């Protein structure tokens, strides 16, 4: 351990045992913040002590934020250096190599892989990294070099978009860290082909987390007319076509995302069965219902309506409204899949909102599937935020 490291000390009321047992965050209310600790450079390494000055862990500090310290290692003697980073990335890479035959997956899932705030998605020879904490931002070059060394990938692109970086006081400037990343990559998944925009797309360019639920939807799809609402680049719709759907209509507010979805359908040889409609999802569902349209499989995978506890009540009302509108579009005997990526809307609350909305539409159904993020998005067992994704599939008589 570097004895010159600055220290952060817990207040007497803080639960040191929680940290010892693996909780990775330390909030500002639990830390003694004096002038010295407040002046720590964001991302600086520090030694975390309990209220009696016993060493607890090595942490990355950012005193100007709600989460003042993020645990890097519970062994205070550990050196946080290139070898330490290499071990973390190699462990994550070994897991994904067991899980997936093709090089398309989430490689690093932040705290769940022991690298606070670091998100890395792999697209064949290119890695897209989101350094969402001050520590990760300060170590971007090191992370990129070790990622390339471990995986053999030749290009690494930094995506600096998202709310998490704003709360850490970081900029939103994207750019290459290694090599020359391609602007667009064709990603095979569940028999479908998705076009990922690595440079200008949403998040890292593609959402890998819904892979298991895409596969389940494909099993319901043969011969079906499918409606994919909040489709992004065609996630559920293209998976359904790969599963044998008769047709798929993708609805989204983003013209670039729908254009990528069309490219994906064309690459699959199913362009004739795929159509898009740009517009507000609530308005489009209302218009389709007014026109008497129904579909054998309806999927709604909206953005996070409840990104925080403060937004929970409003978010649950939005999920209920989505469920009501989507359920009204399901043909008799059809299927409805409703999703949430809001960590604040835990499963029971989200399910209750969906059931209320379906009831208001007069279309109650039997729950036949509950899905979560795939295994390349491991959940930190003490962080509800890492278990954010839920998908519910109903059979509607």
pLDDT digits (tens, 9 = 90+) for 183-197: 999 999 999 999 999
Q: Does residue 142 sit in the same domain as residue 114? A: yes
**CB contact burial 323-347 (16+ within 10 A = b; e otherwise):** bbbbbbbbeeebbbbbbbbbbbbbe
- Residue 284, C-beta contacts closer than 8 angstroms, at least 6 positions apart: 229, 251, 277
Q: Does residue 213 sit in the same domain as residue 322? A: yes
**Which of 182, 211, 240 is where one domain is finished?**
182
Write the CA distances from 238 to 191, 194, 202, 365, integer angstroms: 9, 8, 18, 25
The CATH number of residue 101's host domain is 3.30.750.80
Task: Give the confidence band of 1 by pLDDT, cuts at 50, 70, 90.
Answer: very low
The CATH number of residue 281's host domain is 3.40.50.150
Tokens of 284: 């489009």
Q: Does residue 163 sit in the same domain as residue 192? A: no
pLDDT digits (tens, 9 = 90+) for 272-321: 999 999 999 999 999 999 999 999 999 999 999 998 899 999 999 999 99
Let me know if residue 228 belongs to a domain.
yes
User: Of these residues, 140, 153, 339, 341, which one is catalytic?
Assistant: 341
Let me know if residue 1 belongs to a domain.
no
**Which of 182, 202, 229 is where one domain is finished?**
182
Q: Does residue 197 sit in the same domain as residue 265? A: yes
- Residue 293, C-beta contacts closer than 8 angstroms, at least 6 positions apart: 329
Q: Does residue 193 sit in the same domain as residue 329? A: yes
Let me know if residue 333 belongs to a domain.
yes
Q: Does residue 138 sit in the same domain as residue 18? A: no
Let me know if residue 391 belongs to a domain.
yes
Let me know if residue 2 belongs to a domain.
no
Let me know if residue 11 belongs to a domain.
yes
Q: Does residue 133 sit in the same domain as residue 222? A: no
23 CB-contact burial (10 Å; exposed 0-12 / middle 13-18 / buried 19+): middle
Q: Does residue 239 sit in the same domain as residue 279? A: yes
Asked about 341 being catalytic, the answer comes back as: yes
Q: Does residue 167 sit in the same domain as residue 212? A: no
R_g over Cα of the chain: 22
Let me know if residue 368 belongs to a domain.
yes
Q: Does residue 210 sit in the same domain as residue 277? A: yes
Tokens of 21: 């047992």
Query: How many structural domains does the chain have?
Result: 3
Q: Does residue 323 sit in the same domain as residue 208? A: yes
- Residue 41, C-beta contacts closer than 8 angstroms, at least 6 positions apart: none
Q: Does residue 235 sit in the same domain as residue 363? A: yes
Let me know if residue 299 belongs to a domain.
yes
Residue-number span of the structural domain to which 104 is assigned: 82-182
Task: Give the confidence band of 3 by pLDDT, cuts at 50, 70, 90.
Answer: low
Distance between CA 358 and CA 25 in Å, rounded? Answer: 38
Q: What is the average per-residue pLDDT within 202-220?
A: 95
**Which of 24, 42, 73 is where one domain is finished?**
73
The CATH number of residue 12's host domain is 2.30.130.10
pLDDT digits (tens, 9 = 90+) for 143-202: 999 999 999 999 999 999 888 899 999 999 999 999 999 999 999 999 999 999 999 888
- Residue 231, C-beta contacts closer than 8 angstroms, at least 6 positions apart: 237, 250, 251, 252, 257, 258, 261, 276, 301
């Amino acid at each position: 351990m570097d004895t010159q490291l600055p220290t952060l000390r817990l207040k007497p009321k803080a639960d040191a045992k929680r940290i010892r047992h693996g909780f990775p965050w330390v909030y500002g209310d639990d830390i003694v913040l004096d002038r010295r600790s407040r002046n720590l450079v964001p991302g600086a390494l520090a030694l975390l002590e309990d209220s009696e000055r016993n060493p607890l862990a090595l942490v990355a500090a950012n005193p100007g934020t709600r989460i003042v310290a993020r645990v890097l290692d519970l062994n205070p003697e550990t050196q946080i250096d290139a070898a330490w980073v290499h071990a973390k990335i190699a462990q994550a890479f070994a897991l994904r190599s067991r899980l997936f035959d093709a090089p398309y997956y989430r490689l690093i899932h932040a705290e769940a892989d022991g690298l606070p705030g670091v998100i890395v998605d792999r697209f064949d020879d290119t890695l897209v990294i989101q350094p969402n904490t001050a520590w990760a931002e300060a170590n971007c070059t090191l992370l990129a070099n070790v990622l390339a060394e471990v995986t053999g990938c030749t290009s690494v692109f930094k995506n600096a978009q998202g709310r998490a970086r704003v709360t850490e006081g970081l900029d939103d400037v994207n750019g290459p860290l290694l090599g020359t990343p391609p602007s667009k990559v064709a990603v095979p998944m569940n028999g479908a082909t998705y076009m990922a925009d690595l440079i200008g797309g949403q998040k890292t360019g593609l959402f890998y987390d819904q892979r298991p639920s895409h596969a389940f939807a494909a099993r319901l799809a043969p011969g079906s007319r499918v409606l994919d609402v909040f489709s992004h680049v065609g996630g559920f719709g293209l998976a359904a076509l790969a599963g044998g759907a008769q047709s798929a209509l993708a609805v989204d507010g983003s013209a670039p995302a729908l254009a990528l979805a069309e490219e994906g359908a064309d690459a699959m040889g199913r362009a004739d069965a795929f159509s898009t409609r740009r517009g507000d999802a609530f308005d489009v569902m209302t218009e389709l219902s007014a026109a008497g349209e129904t579909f054998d499989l309806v999927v709604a995978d909206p953005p996070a309506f409840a990104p925080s506890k403060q937004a929970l009540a409003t978010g649950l009302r939005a999920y209920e409204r989505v469920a009501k509108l989507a359920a009204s579009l399901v043909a008799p005997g059809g299927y409805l899949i409703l999703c949430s990526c809001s960590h604040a809307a835990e499963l029971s609350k989200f399910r209750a909102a969906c059931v209320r909305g379906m009831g208001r539409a007069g279309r109650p159904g039997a729950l036949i599937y509950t899905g979560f993020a795939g295994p390349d998005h491991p959940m930190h067992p003490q962080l509800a935020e890492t278990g954010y994704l839920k998908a519910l599939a109903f059979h509607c008589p």
